[in-house]
Structure 1
Amino acid sequence: MNKKIIYLSIIIILIPFMTGCWDMQEINQILFPYSIGIDLNEGEGERYVITITYPNINAIGKNATQEERIHIVSTVASSVFEGATQLSTRLQYPFNFKMLRVLVLGKNITNDAGTVKEIIDGMSRDFSISKKVRILQAEDSAEDLLLSIPNAKRQEVIEGTLFSMLSGKRSTSRYTPITLTDFIREIDLSGVAIAPRAATGVEDIKFFGGAIFKDYKLIGYLDEVQNRALTILKGKWKSDLVVASFQDMTISYITTGSKMKRKFIKNNEELKVRLEIRVEGALQEYIHRENPTLNNTELIEDMEKAIEKELTKETNEVLEMLQKEYKSDAIGIGEYISKFHPKVWKEVGNDWDEVFADMDIEVDIDVKIRRRGLVQ
């Protein structure tokens, strides 16, 4: 038999088996949640209250047939995934968590380390969930926070309101977004991770400060200014506005960049770390009646010192709180020593919380004003 006929026969036989996946689902027959909220159930029944938000595809596009842009559903369950399974039986289509973007932890759930660890571990093990999911702590309940989204002025149908605020594109350091992977990594390395807080307003949702988790348990909070100071101490400070007092007036300084160097010093049994922070920026707002053009070099240097004083005060206050009140190395000193001074780390690693609490940490901040703004 001709080889061409044989090959053609084989191809014809294989064609029916190459038509596609037998279990394929159309995209409009799948629900893609972008936020999950978890609270402890304070009533009778299962352990958790699971709240899920997902977009209403009928409200997307020019030919939208509905106005309600998102759907929010809740149930009580023993786990996140059981809750999703229960909810899917009440809805037209099943859930797919591939597009999940935000995990919201209710306040009443974060006081128990085992519970938080169980939730984080379960989310990280699921292959369909992105490890870049952002973690957020609600000031009160996660359910109330998610239910407030439809009333918020700003809504992003595709990516979700919360994710659009946590995407890392913002220049503020008043809160710091953290992913699922980074949360686990920071807990593993230093025992401490900081997640941003969120509260509901009259017509909007506000993000502010941070919730301090030590070994997966909530131990305290940072306000917005303290969170900025923590960002400076970690060497991750980006653009932000600093307000400082100067000659009975107020100056506004916007940072355009910063760098930090750590220097470790061991003198016998005493350990010391010096944080050298260099900041550059521009004057945002200042009026000086006697010298409106700001050409006086000495005047500029005095302004720089005023800003340095303000930032040094903020960072030292946060250091005091982390060392004495929480004994929590949230600025990564232990990670730095373990990487670059492993012999020292072998000596102090097992008692790091106590060592960190007593360590001498010196902060040296140098501010430069590179631009002076418009003449007032």
Structure 2
Amino acid sequence: MIKINKILILLLMIIFNVVIFTACWDNKDLTEKAFVTAVGVDRTAEGKVQLTLQIVKPTVMKAGEQGIPEEEAFWVFTTVGDTIFEAAKNQMTAVNRKPFYNHADLMVIGEEFARDGIMDALDFWERNHEPRLGSDIIIAKGTTAEEILKAKSDMEKIPSLHIKSILKNSKELAKVKKVTIIDVLKQLIQPGVSPAIGAIEIVEKEDLQKIEDMKIDSTAVFKGDKLVGWLNAAQTRGLLFIQNEVRNAVYNVDNPLNKNKKVAIEILDSNGKIDAQIVEWKLILSIKIDAVGNIADQQGKGDLTTKETFKKLSRDVENAIKTDIKDVLSIAQKEYKSDIFGFGEVMYRRHFEYWKQIKDDWADIFSNASIEIDVNVKIRGTGIIGKPSEVR
């Protein structure tokens, strides 16, 4: 019995020491490491690399266990170097802690840096073991990454979390091209496709900038790794239909039974496919979209549940989707000459021998190619009511 008690006491002492030393190690981790939540990369006027880190305050992390801290929950530090790695090392002199990138799940790249080419930034991210390749990446339109990461948020203690939430919600509504770093890297090394990356811009310039003063509803277009232009919200939606990334969207079309009134059609799902065929050595590119939707909102009077009105609404939504697709094709082909859709990738995979002959001229071939568009929309319901209620 005495021997058993001694063993139990020894086990308790071991457990106690493990808990104490683990707690001390965690505390040391918090105070000696700077936990990075977001990274920004810019080009200075002198041509150097400027690196901006958004870092969680360790005192706030510890205080958060007991209650909501009153002080700001983050720091923003900016350093400069000839390379990103040098700028990252210089952060240690500014932060006085070792930056820890394991929690960095957002990269913001300034417009000027993106126009020079983003591969340098991605190489640093890919080469080091700490950063996550699954982190979101976004381009700062008309501003710097530093300005974006310095902005505060009324919704989140850590502003980068607010940006990520907007990205997620906007993607679900087909308003932004949400991509990760690994997505972009794959496209850069894959023949026949150039990246398209979501963009964030400041709508209202304030002395104390906030995330609420910004919007995320446009897309940065790349040719190779260089930024060449932008897509607006409607063109972005067209791109997402082509790339089979629309799971929810809203189109407002005319009420066929009530002039000057609108009907909101909610797209509930869609399937987008692209194809490239060689017929008698002639290139034929095509896009096919199948979508289903519901009547989500009706202005004005009238029974929209008839077969004829369903057909009319379906045709109107089909035409609206075609317009978005034609707009994005036009700007990508004629203005940017960039295949962000992946037609070249289809050629590479399915018609490799033909691709080898045309790959060096693909930008010109793509920009002059005619593309067939087929859109089919099925309206399948009206919500939980048929006709709208009438006021007596």
TM-score (norm 1): 0.85
For 2:178, the equivalent position in structure 1 comes to: 177
CA contact (8 A) 1:58 1:64 kept: no
Partner SS for 2:310 = helix
For 1:40, the equivalent position in structure 2 comes to: 43
Residues 169 and 58 (structure 1 numbering): CA distance in 2 closer, same or farther, change over 3 Å? farther
For 2:195, the equivalent position in structure 1 comes to: 193
Q: Once the 2 structures are TM-superposed, how far is the Cα of residue 126 of structure 1 from its aligned partner? A: 1.1
Q: Once the 2 structures are TM-superposed, how far is the Cα of residue 347 of structure 1 from its aligned partner? A: 3.4
Q: Once the 2 structures are TM-superposed, how far is the Cα of residue 305 of structure 1 from its aligned partner? A: 0.4
Q: State whether structure 2 residue 127 is matched by structure 1 residue 125.
A: yes
CA distance, structure 2, for counterparts of residue 271 and residue 312 of structure 1: 21
For 2:97, the equivalent position in structure 1 comes to: 93
Gaps of 5+ in 2: 1-13, 205-209
Q: Deviations over 1:96-130 (max 9, x none)?
A: 111111111112212213xx222221221112111
Q: State whether structure 2 residue 289 is matched by structure 1 residue 277.
A: yes
CA contact (8 A) 2:194 2:342 kept: no
Residues 191 and 342 (structure 1 numbering): CA distance in 2 closer, same or farther, change over 3 Å? closer
Percent of counterpart pairs with the same letter?
Answer: 21
Q: State whether structure 2 residue 324 is matched by structure 1 residue 314.
A: yes
Q: Deviations over 1:336-357 (max 9, x none)?
A: 2222333332333332212212
CA contact (8 A) 2:57 2:73 kept: yes
Residue identity opposite 1:100 in structure 2: A
Per mean C-alpha deviation after superposition, the further-off stretch among 133-142 and 184-193 is 184-193
For 2:9, the equivalent position in structure 1 comes to: none
For 2:315, the equivalent position in structure 1 comes to: 305
CA distance, structure 2, for counterparts of residue 246 and residue 314 of structure 1: 20
Residue identity opposite 2:230 in structure 1: Y
CA contact (8 A) 2:79 2:90 kept: yes
Q: Once the 2 structures are TM-superposed, how far is the Cα of residue 78 of structure 1 from its aligned partner? A: 2.3
CA distance, structure 2, for counterparts of residue 257 and residue 64 of structure 1: 40
Residues 69 and 123 (structure 1 numbering): CA distance in 2 closer, same or farther, change over 3 Å? same
Report 1:104-119 matches (<5 A). 104-113=108-117, 116-119=118-121
Per mean C-alpha deviation after superposition, the further-off stretch among 47-56 and 265-274 is 265-274
For 2:375, the equivalent position in structure 1 comes to: 365
CA distance, structure 2, for counterparts of residue 258 and residue 164 of structure 1: 23
CA distance, structure 1, for counterparts of residue 216 and residue 360 of structure 2: 36
Report 1:1-376 matches (<5 A). 26-29=28-31, 30-42=33-45, 47-59=48-60, 60-113=64-117, 116-139=118-141, 140-148=143-151, 150=152, 152-155=153-156, 157=158, 160-167=161-168, 170-189=171-190, 190-202=192-204, 203=210, 204=212, 205-247=214-256, 248-289=260-301, 291-292=302-303, 294-373=304-383, 374=385, 375-376=387-388
Residue identity opposite 1:147 in structure 2: K
CA distance, structure 2, for counterparts of residue 309 and residue 63 of structure 1: 54
Q: Once the 2 structures are TM-superposed, how far is the Cα of residue 77 of structure 1 from its aligned partner? A: 2.2
CA contact (8 A) 2:242 2:273 kept: no
For 2:207, the equivalent position in structure 1 comes to: none
Q: Once the 2 structures are TM-superposed, how far is the Cα of residue 201 of structure 1 from its aligned partner? A: 4.5
CA contact (8 A) 2:222 2:338 kept: no
CA distance, structure 2, for counterparts of residue 303 and residue 94 of structure 1: 59
CA distance, structure 2, for counterparts of residue 318 and residue 372 of structure 1: 30
Residue identity opposite 1:281 in structure 2: G
CA distance, structure 2, for counterparts of residue 75 and residue 86 of structure 1: 6
Q: Once the 2 structures are TM-superposed, how far is the Cα of residue 288 of structure 1 from its aligned partner? A: 4.6
CA distance, structure 1, for counterparts of residue 276 and residue 43 of structure 2: 44
CA contact (8 A) 2:275 2:346 kept: no
CA distance, structure 2, for counterparts of residue 158 and residue 200 of structure 1: 14
Residues 87 and 80 (structure 1 numbering): CA distance in 2 closer, same or farther, change over 3 Å? same
Residue identity opposite 2:249 in structure 1: D
Per mean C-alpha deviation after superposition, the further-off stretch among 181-190 and 301-310 is 181-190
Would you identify which runs of 4 or more consecutive aligned residues in structure 1 move more than 6 Å? none
CA distance, structure 1, for counterparts of residue 29 and residue 133 of structure 2: 22
Q: Once the 2 structures are TM-superposed, how far is the Cα of residue 327 of structure 1 from its aligned partner? A: 1.7
CA contact (8 A) 1:98 1:130 kept: yes
CA distance, structure 2, for counterparts of residue 94 and residue 64 of structure 1: 26
Q: Once the 2 structures are TM-superposed, how far is the Cα of residue 185 of structure 1 from its aligned partner? A: 1.3
TM-score (norm 2): 0.82
Residues 107 and 158 (structure 1 numbering): CA distance in 2 closer, same or farther, change over 3 Å? closer
Partner SS for 2:172 = coil
CA distance, structure 2, for counterparts of residue 285 and residue 196 of structure 1: 29
CA contact (8 A) 2:198 2:220 kept: yes
Partner SS for 1:127 = coil
Residues 266 and 121 (structure 1 numbering): CA distance in 2 closer, same or farther, change over 3 Å? same
Residues 263 and 47 (structure 1 numbering): CA distance in 2 closer, same or farther, change over 3 Å? closer
Q: Deviations over 1:26-48 (max 9, x none)?
A: 331321101111222226xx812
Partner SS for 1:89 = helix
